[in-house]
Amino acid sequence: MPLFRRVLLLFATALCAFFALSACGSSSTGSATGGSAASGAIPIVAAENFYGDVVKQIGGSHVDVTSILSDPNVDPHEYESNVNNAKAVTKAKLVIESSGGYDGWMDKLLSASPNSSRLLIKGFDLAPTKLPDNVHVWYNVDNMVAIAQTMTDDLKKLDATDASTFDSNFQTFKQSLDQVHTKMSEIKAKYSGSPVGLTETIYLYQTQPLGLKVLTPFEFQKAMAEGNDPPADTVIAAENQVKGKQIKILIYNQQTVSPVTTKLQNDAKAEQIPIVPVTETMPPNKHYQSWMLDQLNALENGLGSK
């Protein structure tokens, strides 16, 4: 190749590389909830994706949300934070955590990057309804409304110009939960008093208002929720309830699994007892409302299968 053409080719290649790098440097980074961060959007970190989803519904294009716990196949109790989490928290103007001992790793991240102007929402502290030894307050939809109200208030503090948008979006979110309340009322009217089994405490926030009779010993559920081995007598009791077909369905937390719960699930299958799977964090491509509603529909189908 002639020298002139070789030099020209090298110059053209270098020029293309320069523009490619410039384009990469100017592109916006997508948040964990999907989409691209709008210019000037409020950086927010949510410890769990259901909180991230709700604040995104309220903030819309005015927020850039990173949700840390977002994989329903991972046990939240075994999660360990990483460098990327720390970087996101450092940049955040608003952080949302569950608290109550559920996500203590987030408190460590906050302590590592103190910021007096950063706003912090603790879901457990804001929840009007709390069950004993049960931090899963987001499973009560009225609790989530109270938490969403604080999200709205904090967004207005950070961006007063768009306050009316935040208020309007909050009202839309609140009204969208009517379908969840309606479904719960329908289930309660049909199946109140039905005996059910639980592998974990998380779903007590819905079984109680539904009027369902949970037979599984509470100490069994509590131990599983805390990642401990349940007392032997509670394991025997739970297994006997399944083998004796004393329960109508088994509500099974897919994210807190152990050999004990797996055996309980297999025993239920053998006895043809319907298994209703639930998760602690929200599955992909869902909103908080559809997540809650889908699980209630599965619960209703299970209760009505026999």
Do 205 and 140 touch, CB atoms closer than 8 A?
A: yes
Which helix (H) or strand (E) is 195 found in, with range? strand 195-198
The answer to whether domain 42-176 has CATH 3.20.20.80 is no
Say what the pTM is.
Answer: 0.85
pLDDT at 179 (0 to 100)? 98
In this structure, whether the domain defined by 179-303 belongs to CATH 3.40.50.10580 is answered with no
The conformation of residue 140, written as its DSSP 8-state character, comes to S
Equal fold, 42-176 vs 179-303: yes
Helix (H) or strand (E) holding 64: strand 63-69
Separation CA 193–CA 83 (nearest Å)? 48
Gap between the Cα atoms of 206 and 125, Å rounded: 19
Cβ contact 79:27 at 8 Å: no
pLDDT in tens, 155-183: 999 999 999 999 999 999 999 999 999 99
pLDDT average, residue stretch 264-290 = 96
Query: Which pLDDT score is estimated for 38?
Result: 55
For residues 149 and 170, the answer to whether their CB atoms sit within 8 Å is: yes
The structural domains of the chain, with segments of one domain joined by +, span 42-176, 179-303
Measured between alpha carbons, how far is residue 5 from residues 1, 11, 12, 162, 249 in Å?
Answer: 7, 10, 10, 57, 76
Low-confidence winner among 35-39, 113-117, 177-181 (lowest mean pLDDT): 35-39
Q: What proportion of the chain, given as a percentage, has pLDDT over 70? A: 86
Of 1-15, 91-105, 121-135, least confident by mean pLDDT is 1-15
Long-range contacts (CB closer than 8 Å, 24 or more residues apart) made by 84-92: 85/45, 85/109, 86/112, 86/113, 88/43, 88/45, 89/45, 89/113, 90/115, 91/43, 92/43, 92/44, 92/45, 92/66, 92/118
